[in-house]
């Protein structure tokens, strides 16, 4: 490797390191966490080994019961045991109290444990509880990804739908993409004429207009979303203006509605649509439109047949950028939307901060990433000039 090549590698190395640390590593960690399942094995190592020899039919033998009691009696960190009961309670409601009760009574149990454990709680005399332990004693699991698709793994290992009252994630993903698609549509409809108007300006007027577009980038999303929360209140300025002009007789509930989410999200994301469009429009020479006019094309034909196709790379690039940012929005829907307007990011935050279920949070994140990637690939096939727009 010559001197110039080594210099090039040194110059690129910080960028590669940043990509690995900031993108590849978090993405790999998320994918691993979505299938990682260490809780049962860590808290019940002897039981896991004994269940590995069990066929799964009927009740396990005395060796499995004895290994389970020995695991309960062994000194272990409360965090490890807490992870076990939290993990199994996620799979089957009530397992927290069942296992905690067995742990408290373990010192007083006498062999044979295949009789004393069921005498303590009849559930230990049922094959389903042991099948549940066996199914989830594997260090890797698809449970979280299945739950993210409203499916679950039964005690015998089969995949079945979750209870209808718990089936929320398919609807949640559909809602997320519907909101994101509408935000993208509104951003295109508002951004296109705005970008065209900016492209016609010159000198000082152009600089001032572009400054107005860039100002939102200098203000935190939290601040902008909070501002919309205040503006859209029943006592806010919008309702006050509508009342003053006689459009309405009583204040309307604008906040905590789907239109409020659309309005606030479009306000935040509109610059991401305008700037790629403006970059493309600036490169279009007016000679093309004038040539179409000289050939007899009417104004609408000049736009539809000449100008619009030439600006489609900017439309596509901006739309994809707005869509990708929309699907991960969190703070804006939380502040201005109602319970039925929350997106996937709300539940990712819930599983991360409230229920401390990092596996479920990682599964939702990974599934959202995959679905978004598929949508972008589909858009690349449908929207003309997307690859060109990505280079603008």
pLDDT tens for 60-110 read 999 999 999 999 998 878 889 999 999 999 888 899 999 999 999 999 999
Q: Which fold has domain 169-391?
A: MetI-like fold (1.10.3720)
pLDDT at residue 215 above 80? yes
* Structure confidence by residue, pLDDT tens digits, 124-165: 999 999 999 998 998 999 999 999 999 988 877 788 999 888
pLDDT at residue 390 above 50? no
* Structure confidence by residue, pLDDT tens digits, 258-282: 999 999 999 999 999 999 999 999 9
- Closest-CA residue to 139 (of 74, 52, 30): 52
pLDDT at residue 116 above 80? yes
pLDDT at residue 387 above 80? no
Cβ neighbors of 218 (< 8 A, separation 6 or more) are none
pLDDT at res. 385? 54
Question: Which of 208-217, 270-279, 293-302 has the largest mean confidence?
Answer: 270-279
* Structure confidence by residue, pLDDT tens digits, 6-38: 888 888 888 888 888 888 898 899 999 999 999
Higher pLDDT, residue 78 or 368: 368
Sign, CA dihedral 374-378-383-386, equals positive
pLDDT at res. 16? 87
pLDDT at res. 13? 87
pLDDT at res. 202? 87
pLDDT at residue 236 above 90? no
Residue 57: exposure state from Cβ atoms within 10 A (0-12, 13-18, ≥19): exposed
pLDDT at res. 383? 66
Q: How confident is the model at residue 349 (pLDDT cuts 50, 70, 90)?
A: very high
Question: What percentage of residues in the chain have a pLDDT greater than 90?
Answer: 54
pLDDT, the chain, mean = 89
pLDDT at res. 6? 81
pLDDT at res. 76? 76
Q: How confident is the model at residue 290 (pLDDT cuts 50, 70, 90)?
A: confident
Query: In angstroms, rounded to a whole number, what is the distance separating the alpha carbons of residues 341 and 293?
Result: 47
Identify whether the C-beta of residue 379 lies closer than 8 Å to the C-beta of residue 386. yes
pLDDT at residue 330 above 60? yes
Model confidence, pTM: 0.86
Cβ neighbors of 228 (< 8 A, separation 6 or more) are 260, 263, 264, 267, 332, 335, 336
pLDDT at res. 178? 95
Domain ranges of the chain: 39-143, 169-391
pLDDT at res. 218? 82
Query: In angstroms, rounded to a whole number, what is the distance separating the alpha carbons of residues 33 and 17?
Result: 22
Mean pLDDT of 188-198: 94
pLDDT at residue 389 above 60? no
Phi-psi region of 343 (alpha: psi -120 to 50; beta: other; left: phi over 0): beta
Mean pLDDT of 162-188: 93
């Amino acid at each position: 490797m010559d001197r110039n090549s080594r210099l090039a590698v040194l110059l690129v190395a910080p960028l590669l390191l940043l990509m690995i640390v900031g993108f590849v590593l978090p993405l790999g960690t998320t994918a691993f966490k979505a299938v990682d399942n260490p809780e049962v094995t860590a808290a019940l190592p002897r039981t896991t080994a004994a269940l590995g020899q069990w066929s799964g039919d009927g009740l396990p033998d005395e060796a499995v019961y004895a290994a389970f009691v020995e695991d309960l009696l062994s000194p272990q960190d409360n965090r490890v045991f807490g992870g076990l009961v939290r993990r199994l309670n996620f799979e089957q409601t009530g397992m927290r109290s069942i296992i905690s009760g067995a742990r408290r009574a373990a010192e007083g149990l006498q062999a044979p444990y295949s009789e004393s454990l069921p005498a303590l709680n009849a559930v230990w005399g049922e094959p389903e509880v042991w099948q549940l332990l066996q199914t989830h004693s594997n260090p890797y699991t698809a449970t979280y990804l299945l739950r993210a698709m409203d499916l679950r793994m039964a005690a015998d290992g089969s995949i079945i739908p979750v209870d209808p009252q718990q089936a929320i994630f398919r609807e949640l993903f559909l809602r997320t993409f519907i909101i994101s698609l509408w935000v993208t549509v509104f951003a295109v409809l508002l951004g296109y004429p705005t970008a065209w108007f900016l492209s016609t300006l010159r000198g000082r007027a152009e600089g001032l207009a572009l400054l107005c577009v860039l100002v939102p980038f200098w203000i935190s999303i939290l601040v902008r979303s909070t501002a919309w929360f205040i503006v859209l209140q029943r006592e806010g300025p919008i309702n006050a203006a509508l009342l003053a002009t006689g459009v309405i007789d009583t204040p309307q509930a604008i906040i905590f509605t789907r239109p409020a989410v659309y309005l606030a999200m479009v306000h935040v994301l509109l610059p991401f649509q305008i700037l790629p469009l403006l970059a493309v429009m600036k490169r279009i020479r007016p000679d093309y439109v004038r040539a179409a006019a000289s050939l007899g094309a009417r104004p609408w034909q000049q736009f539809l047949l000449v100008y619009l196709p030439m600006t489609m790379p900017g439309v596509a690039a901006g739309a994809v950028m707005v869509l990708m940012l929309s699907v991960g929005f969190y703070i804006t829907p939380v502040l201005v939307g109602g319970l039925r307007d929350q997106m996937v990011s709300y539940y990712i935050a819930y599983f991360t901060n409230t229920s401390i279920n990092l596996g479920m949070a990682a599964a939702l994140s990974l599934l959202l990433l995959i679905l978004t990637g598929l949508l972008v690939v589909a858009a690349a096939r449908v929207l003309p000039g997307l690859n060109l727009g990505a280079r603008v």
